[in-house]
Amino acid sequence: MKMTFRWYGAKDDSIPLQYIRQIPGIGGVVSAVYDVPVGEVWPRERVRGLKNEVEGSGLGLEVIESVNVHEDIKLAAPARDRYIENYIKTLKNLAEIGIKCVCYNFMPVFDWTRTDLFKPLKDGSSAMFYDKRVIDKITDPSKMVRAMRRGSNGFSLPGWEPERLNRVGELFQAYQTVDEEGLRAALGYFLKAVIPYCERYDIKMAIHPDDPPWRIFGLPRIVKDERDIALLLELADSPYNGVTLCSGSLGASPANDIPAMIRKFGKAGRIHFAHVRNVLRQDDGSLCETSHLSSDGSLDLYDIMKAYHDVGFDGYMRPDHGRNIWDEKCRPGYGLYDRALGIAYLNGLDEAIKKGEKSDVI
């Protein structure tokens, strides 16, 4: 396993690369070119510039999260072929700088959804929160978009691109006629076009699950559980068609057994990227993000790391969202401190699992 850390670029991240380099056990950076509109080709010089910048700090650029998918591809709209062609050109440019793994998602309109970006917790920290009662009452999602933008500390939000969110009303209209089968067929069309190029370029595609893993605002969702993942892997039967197994997203549903999913899809060699974090499920269906520690949330991080170890996972891993602690001024969910604590904890679990195994043998 290669431990990585997500970084949003010098202009839009509060964390300098030099600080990331000082995290014990760090194996590289996860990043993206953020200011090319979704659907357009990432120019070669921008991709190369990103690589040089990251390497200049002594770190490697390991994973791209995300090359986002244009809504016309998800909607199977007539312009999709042009956007797919552009996607393939971007992959080619990424292959030229040695990228081996690309994360993306196929969530209609919204990427991850929360109601609070800095919800105060009892210990004086804050964390991202999903209040089910609030979401269930929203009749106009563009209000939520405005609230998220206001509450983001002035940072842009990943996956909440302005060009998409300025069209929320229109997009909701367009999705009225798309059900899960239609969305899955659109994903199949996309993967059938893209995966042969991934095989040629040696880039593994790693789809991120829906966050949260259920329908919101009546929009279809197709990466919610084990069955969905099995279906999407069948859409293009190639090791290059794989997943980003996000424990916090999938683990928001008590029906998802994360270690079992890791064992199943990890053994099949289809997990290319692991997002590891905890989440506290509440009785009313709301969710609070927590520290990574098992005892703070609903997920057992030891069981998760053990499952990765047992399947011989050799892909990329990163700690996922952290709380906002020690008054850090940072992007929601993506501060340095709590994610660095997360890495230290995950590396500690990993070392203990490996050494425990050796002593069992003796």
Residues with catalytic roles: 208, 246, 275, 320-321, 334
Shortest reach from residue 160's CB to ligand DNO, in Å: 8
Q: Tell me which residue of 188, 245, 240 sits closest to 213, measured CA to CA.
A: 245
Residues 277-309: b if buried by 16+ CB within 10 A, e if exposed: bbbbbeeebbbbbbbbebebbbbebeebbbbbb
Q: Which one of residues 26, 59, 63, 65 is an interface residue with ligand DNO (CB under 6 A)?
A: 65
Shortest reach from residue 293's CB to ligand DNO, in Å: 19
β-pair partners for 105: 208
Q: Tell me which residue of 337, 334, 284, 291 sits closest to 130, measured CA to CA.
A: 284
At which residue do the structure tokens 């993306």 appear? 104
Q: Which one of residues 104, 129, 197, 273 is an interface residue with ligand DNO (CB under 6 A)?
A: 104
Binding mask 313-332 for ligand DNO (x = CB under 6 A): --------x-----------
Assess 339 for contact with ligand DNO (CB under 6 A).
no
Whose Cβ is closer to ligand DNO: residue 106's or residue 309's? Answer: 106
Whose Cβ is closer to ligand DNO: residue 103's or residue 222's? Answer: 103
* H or E, element range at 205: strand 204-208
Whose Cβ is closer to ligand DNO: residue 250's or residue 306's? Answer: 250
Assess 112 for contact with ligand DNO (CB under 6 A).
yes
Assess 80 for contact with ligand DNO (CB under 6 A).
no
Whose Cβ is closer to ligand DNO: residue 14's or residue 310's? Answer: 14
At which residue do the structure tokens 């206001």 appear? 150
Assess 213 for contact with ligand DNO (CB under 6 A).
no
Whose Cβ is closer to ligand DNO: residue 210's or residue 296's? Answer: 210
Q: Tell me which residue of 7, 69, 8 sits closest to 205, measured CA to CA.
A: 69
Assess 190 for contact with ligand DNO (CB under 6 A).
no
Assess 158 for contact with ligand DNO (CB under 6 A).
yes
Which residues make Cβ contacts (< 8 Å) with residue 211, sequence separation at least 6?
107, 111, 112, 113, 246, 248, 249, 252
Assess 7 for contact with ligand DNO (CB under 6 A).
no
How far does Cα 153 stand from its chain's mean position? 21
Answer left, alpha or beta for residue 238, where phi above 0 means left and psi between -120 and 50 means alpha. beta
* H or E, element range at 316: strand 316-319
Token couple for 108: 């209609």
Assess 345 for contact with ligand DNO (CB under 6 A).
no
Q: Which one of residues 94, 103, 183, 325 is an interface residue with ligand DNO (CB under 6 A)?
A: 103
Whose Cβ is closer to ligand DNO: residue 275's or residue 309's? Answer: 275
Cβ neighbours, 10 Å, residue 189 = 16
How many residues belong to the site for ligand DNO (CB under 6 A)? 12
Gap between the Cα atoms of 196 and 202, Å rounded: 10
Q: Which one of residues 66, 115, 291, 347 is an interface residue with ligand DNO (CB under 6 A)?
A: 66
Token couple for 362: 């003796």
Shortest reach from residue 207's CB to ligand DNO, in Å: 8
345 close to 298: Cβ distance less than 8 angstroms: no
Shortest reach from residue 287's CB to ligand DNO, in Å: 13
Assess 220 for contact with ligand DNO (CB under 6 A).
no
Binding site for ligand DNO (CB under 6 A): 65-66, 103-105, 111-112, 158-159, 208, 321, 333
